[in-house]
Amino acid sequence: MANKLETVPINDWGFFHLPPRPCVIAGPCSAETEEQVLTTAEGLKAVGINVFRAGIWKPRTHPGCFEGVGVPGLKWLQKVKAQYGMKVCTEVASSRHVFECLKYGVDMVWLGARTTANPFLVQEIAEALRDTDLPVLVKNPVNPDIDLWIGALERLNREGIKKLGVIHRGVSSSEKIKYRNAPHWEMAVELRSRYPEIPIFCDPSHIAGKREYLAELSQRAMDLGLEGLMVESHCDPSCALSDAAQQLTPAALIALLESLTVRDAATADEAFNEALSRLRAQIDVIDENLVYALASRMKVSHEIGELKKAGKVAIVQAGRWDQVLEKVRASARANGIDPEFVVRIFNTIHDASVAEQNK
Ligand code: PEP
Ligand code: MN
């Protein structure tokens, strides 16, 4: 049973304004030096980014890797606020992190994927944030468990945190995939349908693991109607102490954002809505007819099967299917649609037909 969440709309956080999408959060994976933080922030501010991220405490798989600069980095974030007027945010993984962030005026925090997977930590953080007005973004857990994700939102909300959002950053996978973390868009879609009031960000950087995949993932997030993007950006990615392969310079980030096609899911334009619903009604009828035609075809195919059985003839006859495909290809061309698209559909229909005759 879904518990209701009492939330404040994202436009009232004082950070973002929708439309237009996406709301963007950008900044380095990790704060490394004061110079790196300020140079990156300057570059981002110059291209119109107003919300800056930087990891201060980094959850690393192996000890001895760069684990973040800790509290000194919070002073650099204060300078980002003072010099560039940006809002600043970082990841918290314990109550101590929350108290340090509050002390140094961090504007927003997020829970990392490993933290969301741990209800003890989420509870501790929620209690530390009680009576503050900080927006909190919750990344999906490392495993594809939507209830853990929602449970974290509930824990925060029960402690009075109302400025809530989520971040989809993909899920660890034991299979070899092209991305660092497998996107589970269905989790975002499910969350959207259960809690339409919760803004959803996508973190293409941690899904991708590599710069080259950031654009396709960001576009997908926009196509799904997600509100925001959190993208890692570094003034000199080649020197980054963590996640070097997935970070973008501020200039590359703005190029990526400009390359996105963003369509709004809904509009108040009545004439548009009316035209859209008329066309959708047409599509619905055509779809119904397609199913009807498929059912009729299947019936005939069944009869052919019976006939072949009676005549002791093999189900698949060489040459016959090639002739069918040639005809539909020609017909597709004559009707101005891609013949190979039609061939793919007919091959699927044929497979089902053969299965029917084999019954
Ligand atoms: C990060 O945002 O820097 C980070 C560590 O992300 P995640 O929790 O998604 O791994
Ligand atoms: Mn990172």
Domains recognised in the chain with CATH numbers: 10-259 (3.20.20.70), 270-357 (1.20.59.10)
Peptide bond before 72: cis, by omega within 30 degrees of 0? no
| Residue of 110, 139, 172 best suited for mutating to test ligand 1, as the one with most atoms within 8 Å of CB | 139
Low-confidence ranges of the chain (pLDDT < 50): none
Is 223 within 8 Å of 21 (Cβ atoms)? no
pLDDT value, residue 2 = 61
Residue with tokens 């709309």, as numbered in its chain:
9
| Residue of 25, 169, 173, 184 best suited for mutating to test ligand 1, as the one with most atoms within 8 Å of CB | 169
pLDDT value, residue 265 = 65
- Using the mean position of ligand 2's atoms as its centre, give its distance from the Cα of residue 239 in Å: 14
Residue located nearest, by CA, to atom 4 of ligand 1: 112
What's the half-sphere exposure (Cβ side, CA atoms, 13 Å) at 282? 5
- Using the mean position of ligand 2's atoms as its centre, give its distance from the Cα of residue 149 in Å: 20
Ligand 1 binding pocket, CB closer than 6 Å: 29, 55, 59, 91, 112-113, 139, 169, 203, 206
In angstroms, rounded to a whole number, what is the distance separating the alpha carbons of residues 181 and 169?
A: 7
Residue located nearest, by CA, to atom 6 of ligand 1: 112
The phi, psi pair for 304, rounded to 5°, reads: -60, -40
Mean pLDDT (the chain, rounded): 94
User: Can you give the pTM of this predicted structure?
Assistant: 0.78
Structure tokens given for 240: 């980054």
Question: Among the atoms of ligand 1, which is closest to the Cα of residue 29?
Answer: 3
Structure tokens given for 232: 């890692």
53 DSSP β-pair partners: 89
Structure tokens given for 149: 């994700």
- Using the mean position of ligand 1's atoms as its centre, give its distance from the Cα of residue 169 in Å: 8
In angstroms, rounded to a whole number, what is the distance separating the alpha carbons of residues 116 and 140?
A: 7
At 309, is the secondary structure helix, strand, or coil? helix
